[in-house]
Amino acid sequence: MNRPRAGGPGTLYVLATPIGNLGDLAPRTAEALQAVSAVAAEDTRRTSRLFAHLGVDVPTLLSLPAFDERARLEPILDRLRAGQDVALCTDAGTPGVSDPGVALVAAAWEAGARVVPIPGPSAALTALSGSGLPADQFFFTGFLPRKGGGRAERLALLRDLPATLVLYEAGNRTGATLADLAEAFGDRLAVVGRELTKLHEELARGRLSELAARFAGEVRGEVTIVVAGRDAAPAPVFEVPLEEELRRRLAAGEAPSATAREVARDRGLKRAEVYDALERLKRGPPRS
């Protein structure tokens, strides 16, 4: 793999690396790592551990961090143009999937290099396969915007998708994100995968409200959340009609904003819809 090719660019091997357990390092990935002339790595220190695990010498490591990926492409492309083979790997999982790598792969195609993806571990697919939720259609959305209008817009976009949803989250924000999902989507079935394939791996399944309570405290590690899509979350049957429940809550003096939030969450409705219904009830029937 590492011999320069006369008259043509080299090959870029896109390698999925273990997300925790080094035993998941695929044989083809190990072979590529040992044969290329250079490795483009998100964090060269993390990638060096793979070579220590393999017990082989470390080749040239080229740093390709997410914050500066485009600015660091040229030395890698120069090697490919010279006919050398280069491997691309990130800290864990599959390059380009909420990790750097997309810009390099696109540039390699433009440079005429051969691109060879070698599959392997992925936190998104690992959690999805163990969720018990439909996987014939799923939508991966990476990390949600942390706050503000961008977060609300993303949740509104995802709410009506019929596919199972898969997203990543940091441990310390897991509880808040689960609560936001419950408020935006209703109390759907979901699965939380924490520290997948690692020593303290945890896989928890339940309703979003239950999981939000379970993970409300300190949560460590990396988290993947899988949420049932719109069609996979059947609407619950309520004995009390919506308007009757709203009238009862208004008569009891409950605040409209809190009522709209709680009823929307319990019934899987949009909070704005419930709030509008409350306002109509407060106004009473239209005058003739």
Listed by start position, the domains of the chain span 11-121, 124-232, 242-283
Token couple for 181: 């999902």
Whole-number Å distance between alpha carbons of 187 and 180? 11
More confident residue, 148 or 160: 160
pLDDT at 4 (0 to 100): 46
Q: Rounded to two decimals, what is the model's pTM? A: 0.77
Residue 288: pLDDT over 60: no
Q: Determine the average pLDDT of the residues in 178-184.
A: 96
What pLDDT score was predicted for residue 251? 86
Q: pLDDT per residue over 233-283, tens digit each?
A: 555 556 678 888 888 888 888 888 888 888 887 776 778 888 888 888 888
Q: What CATH architecture applies to the domain 11-121?
A: 3-Layer(aba) Sandwich (3.40)
- CATH number among 2.40.370.10, 3.10.20.30, 3.30.950.10, 3.30.1330.50, domain 124-232: 3.30.950.10
Give me the pLDDT at residue 254, please.
87
pLDDT band at 287; cut points 50, 70, 90: low
H or E segment at 141? strand 138-143
Contacts of 47 (CB under 8 A, 6+ apart): 17, 39, 41, 61, 89, 91
| pLDDT computed for residue 90 by the predictor | 94
Residues contacting residue 224 through CB under 8 Å, at least 6 positions apart:
123, 124, 126, 127, 166, 167, 168, 169, 192, 193, 194, 196
Average pLDDT in the 63-67 region? 91
Percent helix, percent strand, percent coil in the chain, to nearest 5: 45, 20, 40
Sign, CA dihedral 77-80-82-85, equals positive
Per-residue pLDDT at 208: 95
Q: What is the mean pLDDT of the chain?
A: 90
Q: Which residues contact 171 (CB under 8 A, 6 or more apart)?
A: 194, 219, 220, 221, 222, 223
- The answer on pLDDT for 207 being more than 80 is yes
Q: Judge whether residue 171 has pLDDT over 60.
A: yes
The pLDDT of 94-123, averaged and rounded, is 95
The Cα 67–Cα 180 span in angstroms is 28
Question: Given this model, what pLDDT does residue 282 score?
Answer: 82
